[in-house]
Structure 1
Amino acid sequence: MATKRPSEVRAHLARAAEGRPQREQVQESERVAEQAAEQAAPAKPAKKIQQGITWDPELLAVARSAVAQLGMFHPEAETPSLAALVDRAVRAELDRLETEYNDGQPFQRLPKGARLPRTR
């Protein structure tokens, strides 16, 4: 699908607006904007898997607040969700642990269906 130039988008919206109630105009504008965003967005990462974890309540509260504040005031931080924050933090910690304890090599993956050993 070809990417539309801003002038084409404006012209399309102007044609769409003729004779339509305002609500339909807004819906059309949103649809066109979503299509443009989809075209400009990078490819989606691999499918995510939901995994429940137990959080320290204070840590969770601070993390959620950080995500909200970054999203409102510093979108350049690219932390749109709690999951994004956790992904980056876990990746950074894994890099550190691989360097310190595994000669800089990635840890071997557990066989599918294997359970983590209890260490408590």
Structure 2
Amino acid sequence: METMTVSKVAMSIMCMVAVLSLSAPYAVEGLTCGQVTNSLGQCMNYLKMGGVLPPGCCSGVKNLNGLAKTPVDRKQACTCLKTISGSIKGINYGLAAGLPGKCGVSVPYKISPSTDCSRVQ
């Protein structure tokens, strides 16, 4: 008798979990600062010293642009860029602002420490 009660409780719990999992919205992982850093890693020397733009840098810029598909992702990318650039000494913000254009990418905000990332769409 006890075994049947435990089985009924277990079955009820499994049914509730199944129903809840079907009705819950799908979780989608957003853009991370690690992805931003990895995408732009080959750009650092250029952003500090100028000169020839490494091909791997533009590949990273294009990759990051492809990852930042939603307004939330673009805001996150903006915030990460500001945080990362603020922690690295010697970045030329003029070169940083021109980087998307040099790589043939359009970014809907200026890459600058003064950009208000909360307004990025």
What's the TM-score bracket when you normalise by the shorter of the two chains? Answer: under 0.3
TM-score (norm 1): 0.22
Higher RCO (C-alpha 8 Å, min separation 6)? 2
